[in-house]
Structure 1
Amino acid sequence: MKNRMFTPLNRQRLLWAAVCGLLAVVAVLLFVAWRGSLAVPPEDPLLVRRAVLDALAWPVPAVLALELALAFGFGALVGLAVPPMEGPGTAVAARTAAHLLCSSALFAGVCWICGLPPANWQGLLLLLGIYWLMYLVVWLLRYLRWRAELDAIRRALGLARPAAGGVWQARLLKPYLLLAGALELLLPLLLRLLDPPDVPGLTQLFYPYLLLPFFCLAVGWSAGRRFGVALLLPVACGVLTLPCVFLVYNYTALFQAGAAFVFTLAGNLLGALVRRVRRHSCGET
């Protein structure tokens, strides 16, 4: 039993979970310190929120320990996420639902202790909705990665034709282009409907400065891991932002096209580099 639990693959997953947990701890501490420094007057101590201290009425070390535990737990749980297609369909659905539920609870705790959501349930649902949207995108990209590995096994067994290459391939990038189109053409319009008219935070802040860079980086990374350098993808991601720039925003939002191109290209090049390093380490050409 012990030997099965501590296989090389499981040890690698546990190590990755620990690394993600530590990165989440550092990110939360930096964010809380930054938020505290913006308060007037600046909050002291900076590593915990004054509002959280007042709400819990705990000593500072206890609140800091809770903050670190929530951050590490959320990061580790995200790092423990396994490929979604391992096992039968019912097992995949149950594991995904349990992982989403637990990670959402920890995410809500991290947001609260960082002082992120407003003092109402709508603010918390907004943050959870953004997290669920990111979760869905990552899940779909991991599904495409799993399909790529399955296609590679079929090609190795002579059951499928070799995949076409090239930096401008379009047919192979079709799933990524469709996903980018849905996110960049439809999501801003949906957020515009959900935005309050007086404070359009979803379209003015969350989408251009958080969601769009994250989506473009993730899509570029996944495509790079699967196909290598694919220059068509960053060009398409940049062009696809233009309709909503003029429908939802105005000419001052043209920077979104450049941001989409840069983040997609960066993710694609990083993914292609990791792909090349792994293929080289496995002795492939």
Structure 2
Amino acid sequence: MREVQLSTSQQPLWSIGELAERAGATVKTVRFYSDQGLLPEAARSSGGHRRYGAPALERLQLIRSLRGLDLPLPEIRRILEDEDAIGRALENAVDSRLRELGSEVKILRWREAALHLVRDCPPAQRAGRLRLLSTLSSPPSTAPLARFWRAWLPPRMPRQATAAFLEVAVPRPPDEPHPSQVLAFARLNAMTAAPCPGGRQPQPEVHRVAGAGGAALLYAGLAEAFELAAPHLRRARDPHPGEALDGYVAAYASAYRSRDTPDFRRSLAARLSAEPRLDRYWELAAAVLTPPGGRPRPTPGSADDWLRAALRRDNAEAA
């Protein structure tokens, strides 16, 4: 029978090997945690060997449970050092790890969808798709899209107004993308990252007329009009005059320092038809937001199209 050493308090003391056996761990593991200062020694033998008591066994079991949750050693150390609030420390550590795992899962889902995209396309297209996808991180960054719009917006536009516009103009990558959404985002990324002829995107006339401050008011008014138009788009209603169109025209009337009159509406329709269009951007943005078979989600581009058509109809009816 194995002889168990007793401490002065008559509690059994174990060697590293005996502690490892009781915990179902390896001696190497016990020695590592002991060297890290995570396992309390109860005593030393006459030969200088470590001896451990029941608290070390409990501590070792807790460490192994925390490692089973894939918590890193620094987090485990913080939990063990905060014994008076171990519940709170453990909750914080678990929450942090859950956030990390969520990010890792999102990365894996994007990579999986990208692999399906390459595997399922015609062989002649694979090289091109690989080049296109090589420009994306997993999950992809929206920074190129934001830079594209910052270069398009009037210089010195207030930061808050710019942030509000980017919130609606830049589509967020879905957490569980379909391969078609990955392809749309990759194309959107390539489009916005490509250099513009002349170094700057063509801008609408209203930017020059309104200036930075006026443009902020313009886009705030347009955002409200787009929100009012969105339910009509979701229900696939034909463009028609109403509250959404009135808000749309009012935003431009303010930027042009004019009033909403029949003459202004006619001149606005002509101005808008002559402005540069970003149809391809909004087409791809809608594809990013909408999985196959889903109902298309309204974008500022589709809402603007609907409101322009409503304006043309209104002008036609007034004539």
Q: TM-score when scaled to structure 1? A: 0.26
Structure number with the higher helix fraction is 1
Q: TM-score when scaled to structure 2? A: 0.24
